[in-house]
Amino acid sequence: MFTFSAVIYDGNKQNLVKFDARTESDFDAYLQSRFGCYVCLWSNKELSASTISMIANSQSAQLCKDAINNISTER
């Protein structure tokens, strides 16, 4: 999952938009449904907070497993 950010000009004003989506196509579909006709002045794609948290939790779990394995092999 990614967090997409964009500055969109809709013909009247600029809008800062953030949206969590799996793909750029999903983000494009969201922009199309929200604005119809628009100009994208700037955009960015980064891992979403939930994805970063999931990766961190996975790494923490692996570190715990490794520590337990090290303790059991030291005996």
Tens of pLDDT along 42-69? 999 999 988 888 888 887 766 666 666 7
Cα(3)–Cα(23) distance, rounded to whole angstroms?
A: 10
Q: DSSP 3-state assignment of 15? A: strand
Q: Cα dist. 30→6, 35, 42, 50, 63 in Å?
A: 12, 8, 16, 20, 38
Mean pLDDT (the chain, rounded): 88
pTM reported for the whole predicted model: 0.70
**pLDDT surpasses 90 at 24:** yes
Residue 64: the pLDDT is: 66
What pLDDT is recorded for position 73? Answer: 63
What burial class does residue 38 get, using C-beta atoms within 10 Å of its C-beta: 0-12 exposed, 13-18 middle, 19+ buried? middle
